[in-house]
Amino acid sequence: MPNRTPPGGAARRHPPPRRSGVRAVLVTLAFALGLGAPAHPQVRLPALGESASQDLSVSDERRLGDQIMREARRDPDFLDDAVLLEYVQSVWQPLVAAGRELGNIDPELQRMFAWEVFLVRDRTVNAFAWPGGYVGVHLGLIALTTNRDQLASVLAHEMSHVTQRHIARGVGASSRASMTSLAAILLGILVASRSNNPDVANAAISGGQAAGIQQQLNYSREMEREADRIGYAVLADAGYAPAGMAQMFERMESAARVNDGGGFPYLRSHPLTSERISEARNRVLLGHAAPPQPSALHAMMRERARVLMDPDPQALARLAEGQGSSGAPTDRQGALYGGAMAQLRLGHAARADAMAADGLRAAEQLTPREPMAEQAWRLLQSQARLARGDAAGALALLEPLSAADRAVLLQRARIAVEWHARDAAAAAAQARRSTEALQAWVAEHPQDAAAWEALEGSSAALGQRLRSMRAGAEARAALGDLQGAIDRLRTAQASARGAAGQEFIEVSVIDARLRQIEHERRQIALEMRGNGQRGDGDRAPSPWR
């Protein structure tokens, strides 16, 4: 998450999809960005509920996932866009609930795994599961979908890889490798998979251990069929239209056949055989399920993904023109939303404000109404108002919205900080309210780096120096940068000499957190040195570039 681009903020230019030369060198990695050919079909699948592996326990798998995520969160392509992430989570959570109801997620998996979905700023069509219940979604995949049921079908499939513990089955034979070694190998192969340099690929798979683990992690066609079958049941039980799975297969197959220049890694790590596609279609026919319904919110979030994944000014200019007057009302909402957001990112705040106002009026006329779509419009218009310098107007647009919503909370904090910088007296009350709300939020969500960063800014605006410094340290810790957190906490300690009253309490918290984080870093460093790996202070290669 290192570059937590706020909604409407600037984003780093992303290179075009890479060609697949190196992908021919690599064998598919399950639960990473596996980009090879399908593996052997003779893998024995245990019965449902059977222990997946005696060698890679549930706790080991979670620890492996945590180690990988600690590096991934610091990558600039790890995207924490509050609005889009909230939408994807709203699709994901019913699937997790259905998995529990169906017995796919037993109490141990529920307790031990993260069940976290996250976004990757990449235009390629991809989604993947990592050890420990982490599921990543590329913006390019969201941009390909036409309804939420299609997106849900991919998430249900990936969740089924997790619940069936396919990675534990693959790693079992290589259990002598430590969790640290496994994490390093997975990260190394991820780096190679996104490189055009064959030397990087060769280095990533060099050594018998790495090559052996790589072979163990290959997808099998049986595993794909199992994930399809279980994912379909989860999809239906969660209330989504099961036809979304067949539709998604068809869209990916058609789009890849026409224009895949290396931009469809999902089809290489999850090979779409004619048998799998026909099975998905047959399930729909036999189930007599209702077809997916269009949604203004999904159309808007699809366009948001398109804007966020390609910050090139020419691409944004094309999207800014997308005020289609034809098509279904939901499609018009999407085109207008994408246009308004593109205008804002191009620096045309007045145009964005006007387009967002039009979009909100149109959304209020939809039948049935979609409150979350209206909220997305209000947030976007609030961002445009703030960019125009109208902080009071930006805040007024948020009044009908729940202050407990994360995207609203973060937008209120941005307004408070910018308003305070322009007029401290007028914004003082809002800055205090935002600081208190953020403090309550991070108490319940201590791993929310974006909220800590917002608290750092609002506390600084109020002159709460130590609270601001501690919040900045907590943000680094949440991103996995333990050394950065330690440095900030030590600076706070040095500047706190002679503190009294409320600041004395903050100093005590800083002292305690410094001891905790230093202990955590020592434990990680000891384990890595024991396995000949780099220390936590060294920067790992980017897993997505």
* Residue 291 in tokens: 């077809």
Q: 121: which DSSP letter? A: -
Any idea what the Cα angle at residue 391 is, between residues 463 and 359, rounded to 5°? Answer: 140
Block residue for tokens 């805040």: 395
Predicted local distance difference test score (pLDDT) of residue 518: 96
Name which residue leads in pLDDT, 44 or 302.
302
Q: Give the global pTM.
A: 0.83
Helices and strands (H and E) in the chain: how many = 25, 4
Task: Classify burial at 491, counting beta carbons within 10 Å of its beta carbon; exposed 0-12, middle 13-18, buried 19 or more.
Answer: middle
Q: Is residue 42 part of a domain?
A: no
Structural domain includes residue 296: no
The verdict on residue 1 lying in a domain is no
Which two structure tokens, joined as six digits, stand for 81?
């866009």
Please give the pLDDT value at position 359: 96
Q: Which of 126-130, 138-142, 265-269, 308-312 has the lowest mean pLDDT?
A: 265-269
What sign does the CA torsion over 395, 401, 402, 405 have? negative
Residue type at 257 in one-letter notation: R
- C-alpha pair distances (Å), 437 with each of 85, 405, 408, 412, 442: 20, 11, 11, 10, 9
pLDDT: which is higher, 527 or 211: 527
Q: What is the pLDDT of residue 191?
A: 58
The domain tally of the chain equals 2
CA dihedral over 185, 190, 193, 199, signed as positive or negative: negative
Is residue 333 assigned to a domain? Answer: no
* pLDDT, greater one: 185 or 218: 185
**Residue 37 pLDDT greater than 80, yes or no:** no
Q: Which of 16-30, 40-54, 223-237, 323-337 has the lowest mean pLDDT?
A: 16-30
Alpha carbons 442 and 462: distance in angstroms, whole number? 18
Q: pLDDT by residue (tens digit) across 224-259?
A: 888 999 999 999 999 999 999 999 988 888 777 756
Under 8 Å between Cβ of 83 and 152: no
List all residues 6 or more positions away from 242 whose beta carbon is below 8 Å from its beta carbon: 149, 153, 232, 235, 236, 283, 284, 287, 289
Question: Angle formed by the axes of helices 465-478 and 502-530, to 10°?
Answer: 20
- Per-residue pLDDT at 40 exceeds 60: no
Rg (CA), the chain: 24
Is 393 among the domain residues?
A: no
User: Helix, strand or coil for residue 518?
Assistant: helix
Using CA atoms, how far apart are residues 488 and 502, in angstroms rounded to an integer?
A: 20
* CA neighbor of 188 nearest in space, from 219, 214, 159: 214
**Maximum average pLDDT range among 169-173, 357-361, 529-533:** 357-361
Q: Please, which pLDDT band fits residue 261 given cuts at 50, 70 and 90?
A: low
- DSSP character string of 194-213: T-S-HHHHHHHT-SHHHHHH
CA–CA gap between residue 137 and residue 245 (Å, rounded): 16
Its domain, for residue 28, covers: 22-34+57-284
Residue 464's region, left for phi above 0, alpha for psi from -120 to 50, else beta, is: beta
Q: How far apart are CA 7 and CA 513, in angstroms?
A: 31
Alpha carbons 143 and 121: distance in angstroms, whole number:
12
Alpha-carbon gap, residue 146 to 241, rounded angstroms: 13
Can you list the positions of beta strands (E) in 63-162? 78-79, 116-120, 127-130, 134-138
Comparing C-alpha atoms, which of 307, 77, 418 is closest to residue 410?
A: 418
Instruction: Report the C-alpha gap between 537 and 270 in whole angstroms.
Output: 35
Structural domain contains residue 257? yes
CB 428 within 8 A of CB 421: no
- By the 8 A CB rule, do 38 and 192 touch? no
CA 226 to chain CA centroid, Å, is: 25
- The reported pLDDT for the residue numbered 291 is 85
Assess if residue 544 is contained within a domain: yes
Write out pLDDT tens, residues 417-465: 999 999 999 999 999 999 999 999 999 999 999 999 999 999 999 999 9
Residue at which a domain ends, from 252, 284, 316: 284
Rounded CA separation 471/489 (Å):
9
Q: How far apart are CA 51 and CA 122, in angstroms?
A: 35
Task: Specify whether the CB–CB gap between 355 and 303 falls below 8 A.
Answer: no
The pair phi, psi for residue 536, each rounded to 5°, is: -65, -25
Choosing from 237, 263, 284, the residue where a domain stops is 284
Contact 341, 315 (CB under 8 A): no
Domain-ending residue, one of 256, 284, 312 = 284
Q: What is the pLDDT of residue 467?
A: 95
Question: Residue 364: pLDDT above 80?
Answer: yes
> Within 10 Å of residue 448's Cβ, how many Cβ atoms?
23
In 168-201, which positions are buried (b, 16+ CB within 10 angstroms) versus exposed (e)? bbbbeebbebbbbbbbbbbbbbbbbbbbeeeebb
Would residue 371 count as lying in a domain? no
